[in-house]
Amino acid sequence: MNNVTENLRKTAAKLLQDQEVKMVIGYGAGSEAVRTQPLFITSPEDAEKLVWNPFCVNGLTKYLSDLKGFDGKIAVVVKGCDSRGIYRLTQDNIVSRDQVVVLGIPCAGQMSYQKLAAKMDVSGQLTDVEEKGENLEIKTSKGNFTVKKSEVLLDKCALCENHNPVVADHLIGDKLDIAPKPDDYEEIKKYEAMSTEEKAKFWLSQFERCIRCYACRNTCPGCTCRECVFDTIKPDWVGKEINVSENELFHLTRAMHLAGRCVDCGECDRVCPMDIPIRLLNKKLLKDCKELFEMATPGSSEEGGSVLGQYRLEDPEEFM
């Protein structure tokens, strides 16, 4: 067991023991070696079930919105990217900061289940995982495997802005001294350079696959409307019919609703069962908002809110 897991279990058990919180949301062992699953514990004894390893891909902050009205404080485990979701939720008045205890874990990068499954037999149970230089040594009940980290890293982790959480009431593990790699938006520039027709062709072929499961919306810490426009029956702004036109309306509306608010945690992209590159849309909006309004990545600090919901005299207005 690694030190972080040990510290995490101790901290969680103490918080529950001292009744400082009534629930801890973290990661537990998954059904396959390189997966974990969100875990909700309410008794100190269950702290033993918490794990920390390079397969803790899920963002957990959205559960705070689901658990609105929960009787008591909740502690939640966050990585750097997820930690921005905490401020998203507090700035949107979805959760109150004093009701949340943030357990921040510095993170060097998380590994993609899809990429790992293509390289090794993932069907066993994880017994140990160790980082050795550029490699990850994964020991499972089905055998031991060595994979190169850079080959199985989640795409988003290659351009990580916050290896250390932006907020943590308890920092579990040592701060990482890895220089952040701010996104230079090279990938977005590639799409910006396309003609309107090319862009339409690319995106419509992506949206055509959408099965409208709404996983991207449901996992998003910025999607917390009391009634989502896509669930409204009357008026039916977006029809339930699955076709490229309704799908396009869904995706563009979803993205625009997050303009200036998306914390760029990449969960929408990870959860999409149809491998639609949803994050590109959010990235484009992030780039535009940063260029137009000198905005930091939303959720980077406690103060803020929605840049498009604010007004400054110096805001650009070339379009007026």
Applying CB under 8 A, among 45, 128, 198, 275 the residue interacting with another protein is 275
Q: Name the segment binding another protein (CB under 8 A); options: 84-92, 256-264, 267-275, 285-293.
A: 267-275
Residue 229 vs residues 95, 161, 182, 224, 241: alpha-carbon distances, Å: 21, 31, 33, 11, 15
- Check residue 69 for interaction with another protein (CB under 8 A): no
Q: Which of 21, 51, 62, 140 binds another protein (CB under 8 A)?
A: 62
In the complex with another protein, the residue whose CB is nearer, 120 or 166, is 120
Per CB under 8 A, 240 contacts another protein: yes
Query: Does position 158 bind another protein by CB under 8 A?
Result: no
Q: Is residue 3 part of the contact set for another protein (CB under 8 A)?
A: no
For 139-158, b/e burial (b = at least 16 CB within 10 A) is ebeeeebebebeebbbebbe
Give every CB contact of residue 110 below 8 A, 6+ residues apart in sequence: 54, 55, 56, 57, 79, 153, 154, 157
Residue 43 interacts with another protein (CB under 8 A)?
A: no
Piece in contact with another protein (CB under 8 A), picked from 145-153, 229-237, 258-266, 303-311 = 229-237
Instruction: Please select the residue that binds another protein; options are 20, 45, 121, 294, rule is CB under 8 A.
Output: 121
Provide, rounded to whole angstroms, the least separation between the CB of residue 157 and another protein.
17
Neighbours of 179 (CB within 10 A): 7
What is the CB neighbour count within 10 angstroms for residue 93? Answer: 9
Q: Residues 37, 127, 150, 310: which binds another protein (CB under 8 A)? A: 37
> With respect to another protein, which residue has the nearer C-beta, 184 or 241?
241
Residues near another protein (CB under 8 A), total: 38
Min. distance of Cβ 235 from another protein in angstroms? 10
Q: Judged by CB under 8 A, does residue 122 bind another protein?
A: yes
54: preceding bond cis by omega (within 30 degrees): no
**Residue among 112, 187, 106 nearest 149 (CA):** 112
* Cα–Cα distance for residue pair 212/251, rounded to 1 Å: 9
Nearest approach in angstroms of CB 281 to another protein is: 17
* Spatial distance between the Cα atoms of 275 and 278, rounded to a whole number of angstroms: 8
Asked if residue 53 binds another protein (CB under 8 A), the reply is no
- Please pick, from the candidates 215, 229, 249, 296, the single residue that binds another protein as defined by CB under 8 A: 215
Beta bridge partners of 100: 74
218 lies in the binding site for another protein (CB under 8 A): yes
Binding flag, residue 144, another protein (CB under 8 A): no
**Residue 202 is a binding residue for another protein (CB under 8 A):** no
Q: How far apart, in whole angstroms, are the C-alpha atoms of residue 288 and residue 183?
A: 13
Question: Which DSSP string corresponds to 118-183?
Answer: HHS---S-EEEEEEETTEEEEEETTEEEEEEHHHHB-GGGGG-S-SS-S--SEE-SPPP-PPP---
User: Which residues make up the interface to another protein (CB under 8 A)?
Assistant: 30-32, 35-40, 58, 62-63, 117, 121-123, 209, 211-215, 217-219, 231, 233, 236, 239-243, 270-271, 273-275
